[in-house]
Structure 1
Amino acid sequence: MLLKGEQLAAHLERDLRPLYVLYGDEPLLVLEAADAIRAKARNSGYTEREVLTVLPQFDWGALLAAGGNMSLFGDRKLIDLRIPNGKPGKDGSSALQAWCQNLSSDTMLLITLPELDWKEEKSAWFTALVDAGVVIKLNAPPLAELPGWIAGRLRRQQQSAELDSLKFIAERVEGNLLAAHQEIQKLGLLYPTGQLSMEQIRDAVLNVARYDIDGLREALLAGDLARLNRTLDGLMQEGEAPPLVLWAMTEEIRALTAIRAGLDSGRPADLLLKEAKVWGPRQLPVKKALQRLSTAALEEALRHAGRIDRLAKGIGQGNIWEEFLRLGLRLCPQTPTPAGRPAPSSVR
């Protein structure tokens, strides 16, 4: 059975299963979900706990042995199985499938994994876990949903804020959910319950965003100039290597160029996306980007990327980070700057 992260609390209030699997790209959410399950297990009589971590040369017989070793006092047991690389291997796959066929109410198995790719999600061992237990995928909310996530956390400590204030926090903790959690807790310590003002939030919240290449690609596809500028500036401040930034931007432009050319020749979009290896949730932002970009614009962006490549190799003069921003501008919707207002700041 598959559950969403927000469904876990209600599930635990009415039920407790002998098998739980937690996985995703956000350690904070995985940790919190695991804590909730362990607390429920303790209150339900699972007083004994054994932790197993799957490292190289791990003996999967230890899992089956742990399940067979009952307490001298007849206590129920929780086995906390952690697979840091998300790959149990052939022996692990067999052991997990065997476990799923012999579940017991006296022994609970809690498995934590990192984010899995689509191949692992369709593997025999993972499918067996989904069929036999409760599986919860816990990924960080995207930037558009982050204000709502923050509002929910504030409600837990009986605080609230206007949407502009929530967006202000979201922009400064983007890509770093643990920092968001800490900043929200800080607001609970600094201010009483009730409505928080923008001034209070500005005074308390630090700029703790963790900018990464994936965020850059998302901003590029969305044509979000403000986020693109902010992310490039963050990557520069964090010392990211320009060749990696150029590679990420160029890969997106090449994929868009190939798909756009195919669409112009009348080929079906789904086939073109498959050929460009654009899968899953990435398809929607790619399709939206293609709606605003022509073949000519994309080809000129590729030529611009070539000039940046030469600049990175010491050929020519210029600020490479400013060129990254100019390259991004080619893929953003062109909106006129209102009179009297400065244009968006360039990357320093």
Structure 2
Amino acid sequence: MQLKGEHLAAHLERELKPVYLVYGEEPLLVIEAADAIRASARRRGFDEREVLTAITGFNWNDLHHAAGNMSLFGGRTLIDLRIPSGKPGRDGSAALQAYCARPSPDSLLLVTMTAADWREEKAAWMTALAAVGVVVKLIPPGLGELPAWIAGRLARQQQRADAAGLRFIAERVEGNLLAAHQEILKLGVLYPSGALNPEEIRDAVLNVARYDLDGLRDAMLAGDVARLTRTLDGLQQEGEAPPLVLWAMTEEVRALAQISAGLERRQPLDALLKEARVWGARQAPIRRALQRVNGRRAQAALAQAARIDRMIKGLAGGDVWNEFLRLGVNIAVV
């Protein structure tokens, strides 16, 4: 059974399955979902808990032993299995499938991990977990959804903010839900329930945005020049290495150039995306960018990236960060 994160609480009120898999890119969401499952398990008599962490060298027989260990007091056990890499490997896959074939009636298996690529999502072990239990993929809110997410969190502590205040918080915590969570809790400590005015929010909320290369790519492909500029400024202030910035931007430009050339030859878009190794969630922003970036513009951007590379190597003069902005704007703007 596949379940969206927002439906987990209602599901746990109704029932408790023998196996749960919780995963996603944002640790905060994974932690909160796992905590909800643990709390529900405790209410239903799973009084004991065994934590297993599947790192390099982990013995997957421990999963079998944990399920077979009977409590001296007749209690039931929650097996808290963590897979930090998101890939159990061959032995882990076999062990998980074997467990799901005969789940223990006295154990509840909770598997958590912070990431899984599309190959793992189609793997036999994940299919086995979904068949006997629940798989919860937690998708973090996008930039446009973040104000509503913040508003929901404020409502939990009987506080609210207007649209401008919500946008202000969202911009300061961009890409960092854990920081957003901490700032929201801080507002709950500093101010009483009710409406928060803009001055209170500005005084309390720190600029804790996590500027990263994925955010830079997203902004460039989305055509969001304000976010692109803000992210480049943040990366520069945080001391990000220019070669890494150039690599991140050029990877997207190269994909756009390759796909645009194929479209001009009337090749099907789906095949071109596959050939350019554009998978999963990355396809949607690339498709949108292709609506404004033709082959000529993409090739010009590649030439511009080559000039920036010479600047980084000291073979040409100029301000590298200004050129990054120019390169990004050339892709972002219609």
Q: TM-score, normalised by structure 1?
A: 0.93
Alignment partner, residue 213 of structure 2: 213
Instruction: Tell me which residue corresponds to 2:259.
Output: 259
Name the aligned partner's letter for residue 316 of structure 2: G
Give the Cα–Cα distance (whole angstroms) in 1 for the partners of residues 198 and 47 of structure 2: 46
User: Offset of 1:87 from its aligned partner?
Assistant: 1.9
Alpha-carbon distance in structure 1 between the residues aligned to 2:93 and 2:291: 43
1:331 maps to amino acid: I
Q: Distance in 1 between matches of 2:270 and 2:140?
A: 27
CA shift for structure 1 position 123 = 0.9
SS of 2:140's equivalent in the other structure is: coil
Q: Which residue of 2 aligns with 1:298?
A: 298
Residue 136 of structure 1: aligned partner: 136
Aligned to 1:115: 115
Partner residue in 2 for 1:14: 14
SS in 2 for 1:330: helix
- The residue aligned with 1:103 is 103
Secondary structure, counterpart of 2:215 in structure 1:
helix
Name the % identity. 66
Q: Distance in 2 between matches of 1:19 and 1:268?
A: 41
CA distance in 2: counterparts of 1:286 and 1:91, whole angstroms? 37
Cα distance in structure 1, aligned partners of 2:87 and 2:288: 34
Give the equivalent residue in structure 2 for 1:281: 281
Partner residue of 1:341?
A: none
Q: CA deviation at 1:295?
A: 2.0
Kindly indicate whether residue 333 of structure 2 is the aligned counterpart of residue 327 of structure 1.
no
Pairwise CA distance, 1:31: 0.8
Aligned amino acid, residue 277 of structure 1: R
CA RMSD of aligned residues (A): 1.2
Alpha-carbon offset, residue 132 of structure 1: 1.2
Runs of 4+ in structure 1 over 4 Å off: none
1:228 matched to which residue of 2?
228
AA of the residue aligned to 2:142: P
> Which structure 2 segments of 5+ residues have no match?
none
Structure 1: gaps of 5 or more residues: 335-348
> Paired residue for 2:49?
49
**1:183 matched to which residue of 2?**
183
**In 1, are the aligned partners of 2:18 and 2:132 still within 8 Å (CA)?**
no
- Code of the aligned partner of 1:271: A
SS for the counterpart of 2:174 is: coil
Q: CA deviation at 1:332?
A: 2.2
CA contact (8 A) 2:224 2:332 kept: yes
Superposed displacement of residue 172, structure 1: 0.9
Q: Report the alpha carbon displacement of residue 314 of structure 1 after superposing the two structures with TM.
A: 0.4
Q: Aligned partners of 2:263, 2:192: CA distance in 1, in Å?
A: 56
* One-letter amino acid of the structure 1 residue matched with residue 49 of structure 2: R
Whole-Å Cα distance in 2 between the matches of residues 85 and 279 of structure 1?
20
- 1:101: Cα distance to partner? 1.0
Deviation at 1:53, TM superposition (A): 1.1
Alpha-carbon distance in structure 2 between the residues aligned to 1:174 and 1:115: 20
Tell me the secondary structure at the aligned position of residue 331 of structure 2: coil
Counterpart residue number, 1:346: none
Shift of 1:114: 2.1
Mapped partners of 1:85, 1:72: distance in 2: 34
The Cα of 1:193 is off from its aligned counterpart by: 1.1
SS at match of 2:291: helix
Count the aligned residue pairs. 334
Amino acid at match of 2:119: K
Shift in Å at residue 265 of structure 1? Answer: 2.2
Equivalents in 1 of 2:195, 2:69: separation in Å?
A: 53
Partner of 2:84: 84
